[in-house]
Amino acid sequence: MKYYLSILLLIVSGIFLHACAESPDVEKVQDGISDQHIRFAVDQIDNYYSDQYQRGKFNGNILIAYKGEIIYQKSMGWAVKSSGEKLVNDSKFQLASTSKPFTATAILLLYEKGKIGLDDDIRKYISNFPYKGITVRLLLSHQSGLPDYTDYKKYFKKKYIDNQDVIDMFVKYRPKIQSSPNTKFKYNNSNYVVLALLVEKISELSFSDFVEENIFKPLGMKNTWAWHPTQAKKEHQTYGYEGNWVLRQPDLFDGALGDKGIYSTTEDLLKWDQSWYNHTLLKPSTIKMAYTPQTDNSDGNNYGLGWRMKTLEDGKRLIYHNGWWHDYNLVFKRFVDDSVTIIILSNKLNMEVYHTDFVENVLLGPRNPDEEILPEKNYFAERKKIDNPQPFTNVKDDNEFSTLEEIKNSVSQSIAQSKYYIVKRGDTLYNIATRMNITVDMLKNLNKLKTATIFLGQRLIVN
């Protein structure tokens, strides 16, 4: 696990707050969030991401909603750097794997119409499919054991493959399955490429046309479509960039759909989010089935029918699906029992995008009695007068360390002799302990810390 010496915060022992937990009710918001707290949280979130952007740590669009209403929305950075095009609210991002719930919904729409069974063997629809025992449900829940088509680039000769090309490759070369069907969870893009092809075969429409007519249009998602690399650039369409601003070019896999390939905006994704609360497209019974874990992972992170899901420490549910493809990093988190939605779309590679603990904690509160956040006054601590301050030495902003010992070895000798630990602003004891792979009690024993002061965006000084 890594520790970040940017926007540093030193947590002393002896800070004890508490968090209340309520049992969830299906599709029902349990506890309201006051307007006062929303204003406080939004101010903290804006300061946090503005600081990230100023330090070159974030480029993208953010939308946070409560009960379907936008409480925070911001665009920061470049849509197309070479032309100087800035991001705006209508900027359109490649959704990567955040496209998968759309594919699953297409299948579930056909299921509700009686055109496909979830426990049907897919050879009922693709007669020459070379692998036995794979059902629609196993594809939806990533338990098919199929080979991942992206591992077999050498077998494809076209500039841009399509979904049928993936099936043809399976038939011709029969790459080895990763596991027997229905024996283990293995996240795999092949599952959703096959599902998109099933949509085409059953509906007799292209996948692009099916999702347009049956999902995007009914929901008023006018800035959302299934993309192909041969299409002309649309207004406000973003490009993807590596971390050093090198433009990422399309490759042959971009022609396949279902596992990725949807472009959308934060506001369209909010419409998509709300359709699940309002049962706009699917029946409540179907939505309940989609939200039901089909896997039983020991870490509590499970997969349903097109959605990742987790039961949080307070018993409430997180239904989500993030994405990563061609340097696009996407967060789509739905705290369905609180009716809170977090949407973050970034077109510049940065894995920090997925670390939304600060946003969740400041808006929703800690999820565990040990998951303490500092009180409001400490988010942006005032400077304290200290005698004979000893600054960090030999440490540059944003250095990353794997162990506490590495941190100690990188600071001045006088400071290194004391016991301390360093975390990000707004962090929690629970999250710190998790990253350090120790218990909260062990973390609390790292005590007898020195008095600290914080210079936001600068270095920490202790005495």
In the predicted structure, residue 54 carries a pLDDT above the cut 50: yes
Give the Cα separation of 375 and 113 in Å (integer).
Answer: 52
CA distances from 376 to 5, 44, 218, 241, 358 (A): 21, 9, 43, 36, 13
List, in order, residues 6 or more apart from 222 with CB less than 8 Å away: 216, 268
> Which whole number is the average pLDDT over 386-390?
34
Query: 3-state DSSP call for residue 420?
Result: coil
Closest CA to 240 of 168, 152, 135, 345: 345
pLDDT band at 26 (very low <50, low <70, confident <90, very high): very low
Give the Cα separation of 431 and 427 in Å (integer).
Answer: 7
Lowest-pLDDT range of 184-188, 397-401, 459-463 = 459-463
Q: Is the pLDDT higher at 3 or at 279?
A: 279
In the predicted structure, residue 390 carries a pLDDT above the cut 50: no
In the predicted structure, residue 43 carries a pLDDT above the cut 60: yes
Give the Cα separation of 252 and 162 in Å (integer).
Answer: 9
Residue 271 and residue 345 in contact, taking contact as beta carbons nearer than 8 Å: no
pLDDT tens digits for 130-155? 999 999 999 999 999 999 999 999 99
Q: Over pLDDT 90: what percentage of the chain?
A: 61
Residue 25 and residue 337 in contact, taking contact as beta carbons nearer than 8 Å: yes
pLDDT tens digits for 178-235? 999 999 999 999 999 999 999 999 999 999 999 999 999 999 999 999 999 999 999 9
> Which whole number is the average pLDDT over 417-445?
48
In the predicted structure, residue 58 carries a pLDDT above the cut 60: yes
Residue 341 has φ and ψ, to the nearest 5°, of: -125, 130
In the predicted structure, residue 89 carries a pLDDT above the cut 90: yes
Sign of CA dihedral 61, 65, 70, 72: negative
In the prediction, which pLDDT does 10 show?
Answer: 29
In the prediction, which pLDDT does 44 show?
Answer: 85
In the prediction, which pLDDT does 37 show?
Answer: 85
pLDDT band at 315 (very low <50, low <70, confident <90, very high): confident
In the predicted structure, residue 450 carries a pLDDT above the cut 50: no
Lowest-pLDDT range of 155-169, 282-296, 323-337, 366-380 = 366-380
In the predicted structure, residue 455 carries a pLDDT above the cut 80: no
Residue 221 and residue 275 in contact, taking contact as beta carbons nearer than 8 Å: no
pLDDT band at 430 (very low <50, low <70, confident <90, very high): low
- The full DSSP string for 90-157 is T-BEE-GGGGHHHHHHHHHHHHHTTS--TTSBGGGTSTT-S--S-BHHHHHTT-S-PPPGGG-GGG--
Residue 229 and residue 254 in contact, taking contact as beta carbons nearer than 8 Å: yes
Output the CA angle 321-326-327, nearest 5 degrees.
Answer: 80
Give the Cα separation of 21 and 36 in Å (integer).
Answer: 20
Residue 178 and residue 188 in contact, taking contact as beta carbons nearer than 8 Å: yes
pLDDT band at 440 (very low <50, low <70, confident <90, very high): low
In the predicted structure, residue 266 carries a pLDDT above the cut 90: yes
Give the Cα separation of 417 and 434 in Å (integer).
Answer: 24
In the predicted structure, residue 123 carries a pLDDT above the cut 90: yes
Give the Cα separation of 156 and 204 in Å (integer).
Answer: 25
Give the Cα separation of 456 and 9 in Å (integer).
Answer: 9
pLDDT band at 48 (very low <50, low <70, confident <90, very high): confident
Helix axis angle for 357-364 and 35-54, nearest 10°, is 160
> Which whole number is the average pLDDT over 304-313?
92
DSSP 35: H
Residue 115 and residue 202 in contact, taking contact as beta carbons nearer than 8 Å: yes
In the prediction, which pLDDT does 219 show?
Answer: 98
In the prediction, which pLDDT does 454 show?
Answer: 27
CA distances from 381 to 36, 44, 115, 161 (A): 20, 12, 60, 54
Q: Is the pLDDT higher at 129 or at 433?
A: 129
The domain locations on the chain are 3-15+374-462, 94-363
Per-residue tokens: 102 = 């759309």
Which residue do the tokens 């307007």 mark? 35
Domain 94-363 fold: Beta-lactamase (3.40.710)
- Quote the distance between the C-alpha of residue 54 and its chain's center: 22
Q: Is the pLDDT higher at 274 or at 12?
A: 274
Per-residue tokens: 272 = 């998509």
In the prediction, which pLDDT does 444 show?
Answer: 52
Our separate counts of H helices and E strands in the chain read 15, 20
Instruction: Say how many C-beta atoms besides its own lie within 10 A of residue 351's C-beta.
Output: 10
Type of residue numbered 111: Y
Q: Give burial (CB, 10 Å; 0-12/13-18/19+) of 21.
A: middle
Give the Cα separation of 233 and 80 in Å (integer).
Answer: 11
DSSP 208: H
In the predicted structure, residue 392 carries a pLDDT above the cut 50: no
Give the Cα separation of 137 and 116 in Å (integer).
Answer: 11
Residue 313 and residue 320 in contact, taking contact as beta carbons nearer than 8 Å: no
